[in-house]
Structure 1
Amino acid sequence: MANSFEKYQRRKLISSYFSVVLSIALVLFLLGILGLLVLNTKKMADRSKEQITISVFLKENTKEIEVEQLQKTLAMSEYTKSSTYVSKEEAAKQHSEEIGEDFVDYLGYNPLKNSIDVKLNADFVTAEKVEEIAATLSEKSFVDEVSYDRVLVSMVAKSVEQIGFWILVASAIFTFIAVLLINSSIRLSIYSKRFIIKTMQMVGATKTFIRKPFIWQNIKLGMIGATIALLAIGGVVYYVNTNFEDLGLLEEPYILITLFVGVFLLGILISFISTYFATQRFLNLRTDELYY
């Protein structure tokens, strides 16, 4: 009979531990995926901004040395990501491929102009800064026109700000929910041992002595849960990086290291805080209140 009761208690204890580990792992996994999105939001936003092109069209009588000087100036400018010289012949060829016919043969001449396509660094892709850059380039005597998509620049800048804001809001809300869920699982685990806690207290054990094994046990469960979550996050990162290489998730490994360390420490921290306050609550209860 005693053996059956001991087996039942052992199964109940294992079930309780499994529940805590599973809760921690699931919550930290989702939190880690959201953290990965937050840490890579700026990089993805920068990639979008750096696709915007400013086209600097040159006058017909522009000298080769003037083109070279402009390219050197652009190369040394802090706002330049890259600059590419496009001759009017190359531009005509690209345009013909896009429309599916040779418009030069149809017109009898090439109406396009030599140009330099400039891609900007992400920090300079705002309506005000792009307008200022375009105005500066237009002042050069051999520049005929500076063209860029003003609507697209404004739209991209506004969209990036909105997306960044809502991701931060979602992160804050989800972090709060994550803490509540893990805290709830740990409190339920300790609730089943409330009589043991009160018995130890009644025989003279100090609060620190009683709390210590519970805190250490749940910290270990938190570490196990965090490890499982990190393995799952690692699998997601590997899959995404393999199938969507353009996202460049592994280009900056320190971001992943920061995320992994943060998730692991968060699992330990939440487990410690939740266990501390859960045990404290039962330590402060009167004996007759343990039945409610």
Structure 2
Amino acid sequence: MAQYIERYQRRRLITSYFSVVLSISLVLFLMGILGLLVFNAKKLADHFKEQITLTIFLKDDAKEIEVNQLQKSFALADYVKSARYIPKEEAAEEYSEDIGENFVEFLGFNPLKNAIDLNLQADFVSPVQIEEIANTISTKTYVDEVSYDKPLIELLNSNVSRLSLWILVASAIFTLISVLLINSSIRLSIYSKRFIIKTMQMVGATKKFIRKPFIVTNVKLGMLGALLALIALSVTLFYLDQSFPELQLFDDAIPLLVLFAAIFGLGIAISYISTHYATQRFLNLRTDRLY
């Protein structure tokens, strides 16, 4: 019978520890994801900005030397990220694949024009700057038209700052929720040992002596939970870097090290503070209130 009770208590203890570690690791992992969003908000915004294409349609009588000079000027321009020349024959093939029909054979001629697709540097993707760039390019005599999605650029620029603000707000709210969740898990774990705490106090143990083993145990659990969260975060970060190499997530090592250190430190700090106040609560509680 005694062995059965001992095994039962050991299972309860392991289950309690497991729940604390799991809750800490899950909460810290989600906080790490939010931290990555905060640190890489500008990179994400720049990535989307640099996907916007400025298309330059050339006149049919444009000379090859003029087109080459234009491409060379784009290669030297500080506002250009990439430039791609698209002959009208290639454009016709792509368009025919999109609509599933050879429109050139149907019309008897190719109505499309030779074009250059420009992707701009993110710092130059704003309604005013793009309009200035488009107007400058349009002044060239061999340029027929400069086309870009003006409403999309205005929408993107207006939403980038708003998105960054909401990410910060969400991070602050989630940090508070995380502290409360971890605190609740630790308090529940200590609640099951409230009678042991009170018994030790009644036989003359000091509050510091009683608190110490609980703090040491829960800080170790906090460190374990933080390590599990960091492992999961590293795997997620590696997967994102493989899927979106253009974001260059590993290029800035210092912010990542700061984030990882903050998550690990937060796991220890929350565990320590929560355990301290949870044990203090039961130490100050009257015996008849334990029930």
Change over 3 Å in CA distance of 1:169–1:56 after alignment to 2: same
| Cα deviation, residue 170, structure 1 | 3.0
Cα distance in 2 for residues equivalent to 1:289 and 1:138: 86
Given that 2:57 and 2:115 are in contact with CA atoms closer than 8 Å, whether structure 1 keeps it comes out as: yes
Gaps of 5+ in 2: none
The answer as to 2:244 corresponding to 1:247 is yes
Cα distance in 2 for residues equivalent to 1:114 and 1:250: 31
Secondary structure in structure 2 of the residue aligned to 1:78: coil
Change over 3 Å in CA distance of 1:22–1:87 after alignment to 2: closer
Cα distance in 2 for residues equivalent to 1:156 and 1:29: 29
Counterpart in the other structure of 1:147: 147
Cα distance in 2 for residues equivalent to 1:251 and 1:184: 38
Cα distance in 2 for residues equivalent to 1:151 and 1:190: 57
Change over 3 Å in CA distance of 1:249–1:48 after alignment to 2: closer
Secondary structure in structure 1 of the residue aligned to 2:51: coil
Which runs of structure 2 are paired with 1:22-61 in the superposition (5 Å)? 22-39=22-39, 41-61=41-61
Given that 1:195 and 1:290 are in contact with CA atoms closer than 8 Å, whether structure 2 keeps it comes out as: no
Counterpart in the other structure of 1:205: 206
Cα distance in 2 for residues equivalent to 1:218 and 1:71: 64
Counterpart in the other structure of 1:227: 227
- TM-score, scaled to structure 2: 0.77
Identity percentage of aligned residues: 57
Cα distance in 2 for residues equivalent to 1:210 and 1:249: 53
Cα distance in 2 for residues equivalent to 1:272 and 1:115: 64
Gaps of 5+ in 1: none
Query: How many residues end up aligned between the 2 structures?
Result: 286
Cα distance in 2 for residues equivalent to 1:249 and 1:95: 27
Cα distance in 1 for residues equivalent to 2:76 and 2:202: 73
| Most deviating of 272-281 and 38-47 | 38-47
Which runs of structure 2 are paired with 1:86-235 in the superposition (5 Å)? 86-99=86-99, 100-103=101-104, 106-108=107-109, 110-194=110-194, 196-197=196-197, 199-200=200-201, 203=204, 205=206, 207=208, 209-234=209-234
Give the superposed CA RMSD: 3.7
Secondary structure in structure 1 of the residue aligned to 2:227: helix
Cα distance in 2 for residues equivalent to 1:53 and 1:4: 71
Change over 3 Å in CA distance of 1:287–1:2 after alignment to 2: farther
Cα distance in 1 for residues equivalent to 2:246 and 2:286: 55
Given that 2:92 and 2:112 are in contact with CA atoms closer than 8 Å, whether structure 1 keeps it comes out as: yes
Secondary structure in structure 1 of the residue aligned to 2:117: strand
Secondary structure in structure 2 of the residue aligned to 1:203: coil
Change over 3 Å in CA distance of 1:289–1:32 after alignment to 2: farther
Deviations 1:60-95 (Å, cap 9, x if unpaired)?
Answer: 454444433332332233321101122334334434
Given that 1:187 and 1:275 are in contact with CA atoms closer than 8 Å, whether structure 2 keeps it comes out as: yes
Cα distance in 1 for residues equivalent to 2:59 and 2:9: 87
| Cα deviation, residue 249, structure 1 | 9.2
Cα distance in 2 for residues equivalent to 1:246 and 1:228: 23
Cα distance in 2 for residues equivalent to 1:201 and 1:141: 95
Secondary structure in structure 2 of the residue aligned to 1:116: strand
Cα distance in 2 for residues equivalent to 1:270 and 1:30: 15
Change over 3 Å in CA distance of 1:102–1:279 after alignment to 2: same
Given that 1:32 and 1:263 are in contact with CA atoms closer than 8 Å, whether structure 2 keeps it comes out as: yes
- TM-score, scaled to structure 1: 0.77
| Cα deviation, residue 261, structure 1 | 4.2
